């Protein structure tokens, strides 16, 4: 399967290269030929494992219905309803969802025996009589539906060209993170992002819920965390927090799009908001002032106090209870105010708490220099010029069997400025233009870490400098699409020259969705 996929990926890249040559005589922009000229199956983003145009197409129009197999169950029906809703939005068609596979239209077919498609893969086949999506799971049908959205016109109706896509992800974990602690954002904004991400097959949303500047999730046993610790943010704005109802609603909304929500409670540093809310969390018994600046590394829970571990247990218990997914992120980054031995002791106990609540730990890569518990997932956020000792510890952890999530700050951090002209953002990991954020291979990025240890990739959006939706989208788009492709597409399909054309072809789609994306000069937007 792997070899087959690699070959197919190469074919696809070859296809793109051939089209490029053919376009030389065109009135192409310096960056390449006009993206609109790319054939629909060459335009897909993320690039599928294999795609071939062949035969007659299907006229997607007023008569189109969506068929979910009789007896395939409520979940497939829901996938059909959601796909209908999404396609109605762009086409204006009625698109009723009906039972039964007989007849023309868009058919969703669950085939539990299709082992080769895995947990999220799908096959999409278009002929004159319709489009058939086949998958082993409802998640696979949903992912295939997102591919179909890219094969229909951005607006209105028209032909879906004949052809076949057979597709499955390279990595199981394809994430994006949002920091709602530095600046508060309502759940509605996060849902909008989930929709934007799910269409590019991202399957995990990591929410950074707590930091020095704010605590954003209600905890019943420690109510002042959100009520007091949440009432502020960077720059002195009012802040805010999510109720448990709002959080559950977000989790459910994301789940319907096959996006898993991973909550993060950052510890033992990045805890000033908690220490301001409760005096007893401080070794000197004195509550801290709320903090509205952007410094890091100054706060620490009181590692020697048993009360701290009651806090950790109760908070993580309530968070675990809100979390259907298996992962719970406990931060662990930049605990500069916690001595190294204390850090390792604290993280031992915090990891044990996570296990007791039935979840798997995810932590930032500093945990690798402590004592990661068996199975703990390490999230690497270093960069090319970062300390060798840190990288070595991450590589050693990977070799010892710890899965890795890769978020190299000089590639995957969406809060790094693109270039000198970018208004929001930071530069501590350097500028990250679109090409740089795309041009790396997660399979061999960390020299010495085996590809088999790589669970996937994640694009974090930190919000020290981001307080409104426009800037959020400007920083995330289009770079997050590149991360989506790095997580999904076979290694053989990763190619900047082909990618930037496919990315340019997404422009009208991003426009239609009113996404405020950066018109990066290295991409030949039409
Ligand atoms: C670091 C730091 C965060 C900052 C971010 C800004 C990690 C894991 N800890 O990343 O607190 O917000 O950089 O880019």
CATH number of the domain bearing residue 403: 3.20.20.80
| Pocket flag, ligand 1, residue 23 (CB < 6 Å) | no
Using the 3D structure, point to which of 126, 149, 167 is the last residue of a domain: 167
97 and 78 in a single domain? The answer is yes
Please say whether the beta carbons of 280 and 288 come within 8 A: no
For the Cβ of 413 lying below 6 angstroms from any atom of ligand 1, the answer is yes
Main-chain dihedrals φ then ψ at residue 435, nearest 5 degrees: -60, -45
> How open is the CA angle 117-376-256, to the nearest 5 degrees?
45
**Atom number in ligand 1 closest to CA 381:** 8
Contacts of 415 (CB under 8 A, 6+ apart): 424, 425, 426, 460, 461, 462, 463, 464, 465, 466, 475
What CATH number does the domain containing 132 carry? 3.30.379.10
Q: Which of 334, 390, 451, 468 is catalytic?
A: 334
Q: Domain for residue 501, yes or no?
A: no
Tens of pLDDT along 2-39? 333 333 333 333 333 323 322 322 333 444 445 457 89
Same domain, 159 and 280: no
Q: Looking at the domain assignment, is residue 232 inside a domain?
A: yes
- Given the structure tokens 């406990």, which residue do they identify? 330
Residue indicated by tokens 């199975």: 375
Looking at the structure, do residues 291 and 424 belong to the same domain, yes or no?
Answer: yes
Chain centre to alpha carbon of residue 107: 28
DSSP letter string, 276-288: HH-GGGSTTS-PP
Give the residue among 278, 347, 354 at the shortest CA–CA distance from 321.
354
Residues 324 and 403 in one domain: yes
Residue 358 lies in a domain: yes
Nearest CA to 429 out of 450, 440, 415, 447 is that of 415
Query: Are 342 and 426 contained in the same domain?
Result: yes
- Is 426's C-beta closer than 6 angstroms to any atom of ligand 1? yes
Is 296 a pocket residue for ligand 1 (Cβ < 6 Å)? yes
Residue ending a domain, choose from 148, 167, 186: 167
C-alpha span between 395 and 450 (Å, rounded)? 8
Same domain, yes or no, for 83 and 207? Answer: no
Number of folded domains in the chain? 2
- Tell me how far apart the alpha carbons of residues 254 and 322 are, in angstroms, rounded to a whole number: 13
Model pLDDT, residue 419 = 98
The residue segments making up the domain with residue 66 are 48-167
Distance 380 CA to ligand 1 centre (A): 12
Instruction: Compute the Cα dihedral for 83, 86, 87, 92 and give only its sign.
Output: positive
The predicted-structure confidence for 164-182, as pLDDT tens digits, reads as follows 999 999 999 999 999 999 9
Q: Name 80's Cβ contacts closer than 8 Å, sequence gap at least 6.
A: 66, 67, 68, 97, 108
Q: Does one domain contain both 315 and 451?
A: yes
Atom of ligand 1 lying closest to residue 182 CA: 12
CA distances from 71 to 67, 77, 85, 114 (A): 12, 10, 22, 18
First to last CA, the chain: 36
Same domain, 147 and 81: yes
CA of 462 to the centre of ligand 1 (A): 7
Query: Rounded to whole angstroms, what are the CA distances from 196 to 41, 405, 470, 505?
Result: 21, 21, 14, 16
User: What local confidence, expressed as pLDDT, does residue 101 receive?
Assistant: 81
CA of 413 to the centre of ligand 1 (A): 9
Three-class DSSP category at 133: strand
Task: Output the pLDDT for position 8.
Answer: 35
What is the spatial distance between Cα 41 and Cα 82, in angstroms, rounded to a whole number?
23
Q: Specify whether the CB–CB gap between 303 and 342 falls below 8 A.
A: yes
pLDDT 10s digits, 389-411 = 999 999 999 999 999 999 999 99
Q: Are 257 and 198 in contact (CB under 8 A)?
A: yes
In a domain, 19, yes or no: no
Catalytic residue at 120? no
Q: What is the mean pLDDT of the chain?
A: 93
Residue 381 lies in a domain: yes
Classified as helix, coil or strand, 427 is coil
Write down which residue in 130, 145, 167 finishes a domain: 167
Nearest ligand 1 atom, CA 179: 12
Nearest CA to ligand 1 atom 11: 296
Residue 54 has what DSSP assignment? -
Looking at the fold, whether 107 and 188 belong to one and the same domain comes out as no
Give all strands (DSSP E) within 69-172, no chain letters: 97-99, 105-110, 122-127, 130-135, 158-160, 163-167
**Stretches in the chain below the pLDDT threshold 50:** 1-33, 35
Note whether residue 516 is domain-resident. Answer: no
Phi/psi at 293 (5° precision) = -90, -165
| pTM (predicted TM-score) | 0.93
Domain-embedded: residue 526: no
Q: Which of 521, 392, 379 is nearest to 458 (CA)?
A: 379
Q: Which of 115, 206, 120 is nearest to 170 (CA)?
A: 120
Residue 518 domain flag: no
Residues 179 and 326 in one domain: yes
Residues 288, 201, single domain; the answer is yes
Tokens of 306: 């048993």
| 203 and 150 within one domain | no
pLDDT for res 12: 37
Structural contact between residues 135 and 122, judged by C-beta atoms closer than 8 angstroms: yes
């Amino acid at each position: 399967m792997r070899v087959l996929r690699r070959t197919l990926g190469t074919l696809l890249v070859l296809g793109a290269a051939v089209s490029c040559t053919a376009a030389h005589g065109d009135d192409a922009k310096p960056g390449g030929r006009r993206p609109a000229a790319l054939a629909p199956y060459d335009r897909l983003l993320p690039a599928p494992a294999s795609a071939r145009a062949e035969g007659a197409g299907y006229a997607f129009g007023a008569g189109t219905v969506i068929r979910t197999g009789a007896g395939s169950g409520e979940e497939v029906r829901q996938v059909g309803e959601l796909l209908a809703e999404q396609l109605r939005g762009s086409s204006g068609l009625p698109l009723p969802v009906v039972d039964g596979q007989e007849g023309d239209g868009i058919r969703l077919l669950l085939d539990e025996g299709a082992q080769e498609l895995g947990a999220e893969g799908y096959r999409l086949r278009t002929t004159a009589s319709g489009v058939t999506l086949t998958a082993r799971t409802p998640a696979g049908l949903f992912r295939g539906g997102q591919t179909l959205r890219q094969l229909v016109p951005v607006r209105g109706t028209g032909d879906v060209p004949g052809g076949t896509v057979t597709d499955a992800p390279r990595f199981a974990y394809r994430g994006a993170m949002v920091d709602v602690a530095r600046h508060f954002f309502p759940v509605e904004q996060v849902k909008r992002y989930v929709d934007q991400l799910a269409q590019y097959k991202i399957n995990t949303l990591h929410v950074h819920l707590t930091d020095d500047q704010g605590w954003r999730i209600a905890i019943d046993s420690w109510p002042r965390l959100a009520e007091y610790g949440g009432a502020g943010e960077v720059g002195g704005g009012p802040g805010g927090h999510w109720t448990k109802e709002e959080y559950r609603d977000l989790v459910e909304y994301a789940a319907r799009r096959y996006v898993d929500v991973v909550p993060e409670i950052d510890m033992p540093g990045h805890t000033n908001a908690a220490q301001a809310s409760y005096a007893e969390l401080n070794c000197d018994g004195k509550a801290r002032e709320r903090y509205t600046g952007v410094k890091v590394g100054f706060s620490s829970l009181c590692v020697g106090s048993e009360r701290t571990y009651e806090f950790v247990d109760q908070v993580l218990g309530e968070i675990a209870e809100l979390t259907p997914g298996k992962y719970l992120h406990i931060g662990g980054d930049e605990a500069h105010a916690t001595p190294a031995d204390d850090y390792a002791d604290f993280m031992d106990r915090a990891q044990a708490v996570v296990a007791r609540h039935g979840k798997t730990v995810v932590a930032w890569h500093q945990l690798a220099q402590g004592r990661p518990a068996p199975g703990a997932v390490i999230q690497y956020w270093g960069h090319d010029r970062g300390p060798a000792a840190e990288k070595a510890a991450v590589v050693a952890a990977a070799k010892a069997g710890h899965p890795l999530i890769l978020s190299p700050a000089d590639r995957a951090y969406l809060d790094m400025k693109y270039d000198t002209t970018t208004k929001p953002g930071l530069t501590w990991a350097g500028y990250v233009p679109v090409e740089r954020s795309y041009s790396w291979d997660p399979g061999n990025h960390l020299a010495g870490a085996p590809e088999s240890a790589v669970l996937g990739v994640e694009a974090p959006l930190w919000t020290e400098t981001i307080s409104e939706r426009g800037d959020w989208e400007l920083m995330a788009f289009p770079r997050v699409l590149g991360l989506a492709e790095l997580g999904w597409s076979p290694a053989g399909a990763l190619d900047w020259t082909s990618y930037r054309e496919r990315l340019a072809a997404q422009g009208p789609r991003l426009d239609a969705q009113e996404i405020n994306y950066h018109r990066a000069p290295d991409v030949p937007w039409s």
